[in-house]
Amino acid sequence: MPMVPLSWLAEHVDIVDGTNAQALAAALVKVGLEEEEIHPARVIGPLVVGRVLTRVEETASNGKTVNYCRVDVGEYNDAPGTGKEPSELPSRGIICGAHNFDVGDLVVVSLPGAVLPGDFQIAARKTYGHVSDGMICSARELGLGEDHSGIIVLPQYFPDREIPAVGTDIVSWLGLGEE
């Protein structure tokens, strides 16, 4: 049986604001339809579009090469000179182990408070000598597929779609946040 996102269903029938998947399923059963399973949201935001402003490769003490990035996440930016690792750029500092992106790329950023598949909770944490205040995500980390060869560079991953503005919440845009 195909999954039917609530947002798609709302385009075709009137759904009262605040109706959740369980209430909708119960109402559908009352009129003779059936539901097999309700799939909970796979990702809980904030998950936003980010633009990579800086990318500095650093070799960690274990020999791994990581990138310390400043990422513009719109309204979620730290103001210049503030935040966990102050910068002159309105942005967030994020450590990323992937190398398939460049300065200027639009990427998917999970911010502290987000929960990814597998109950992976995103929090600001010190790693590789910096505070990483979020995570630049791969398709596998978001449950979009098994590709873990690098992070999602939005225009490459979705070449036929218009990419939302920096800072826009994209949980629903990616099809990840609905039951």
Residue 126: CB atoms within 10 Å: 11
pLDDT score, position 1: 44
Write down the pTM of the prediction: 0.78
d(CA 11, CA 6): 9
- Check residue 41 and give its pLDDT: 57
Q: CB of 92 within 8 A of CB of 78?
A: yes
Dump strand ranges (E) for the chain: 47-59, 65-72, 92-96, 106-110, 115-116, 120-121, 125-127, 130-132, 135-136
What percent of the chain shows pLDDT beyond 90?
58
Phi and psi of 30, rounded to 5°? -60, -25
Q: Examine the pLDDT at 96 and tell me if it is beyond 80.
A: yes
Residue 105 pLDDT greater than 70, yes or no: yes
Distance CA 116, CA 122 (A): 8
What's the confidence (pLDDT) of residue 13?
78
Name 69's bridge partners: 55, 94
Count of alpha carbons within 13 angstroms of residue 91, beta-carbon side: 18
Least confident window among 11-25, 44-58, 94-108, 136-150: 11-25
Q: Which residues have a Cβ under 8 Å from the Cβ of 98 and sit 6 or more positions away?
A: 67, 136, 138, 150, 151
Residues 6+ apart with CB under 8 A from 63: none
Q: From CA 168, how far away is CA 117, in angstroms rounded?
A: 21
Locate 10 and state its tokens.
């709302």
* Of the candidate ranges 26-35, 106-115, 158-167, the one whose mean pLDDT is the lowest: 26-35
Name all domains of the chain by residue range, CATH numbers in brackets. Answer: 1-38 (no CATH), 47-157 (2.40.50.140)
Residue-wise pLDDT tens digits, 29-73: 788 877 777 655 578 889 999 999 999 999 988 999 999 999 999
In percent, how much of the chain has pLDDT > 70? 87
pLDDT digits (tens, 9 = 90+) for 131-145: 999 999 999 999 888
pLDDT for 83: 86
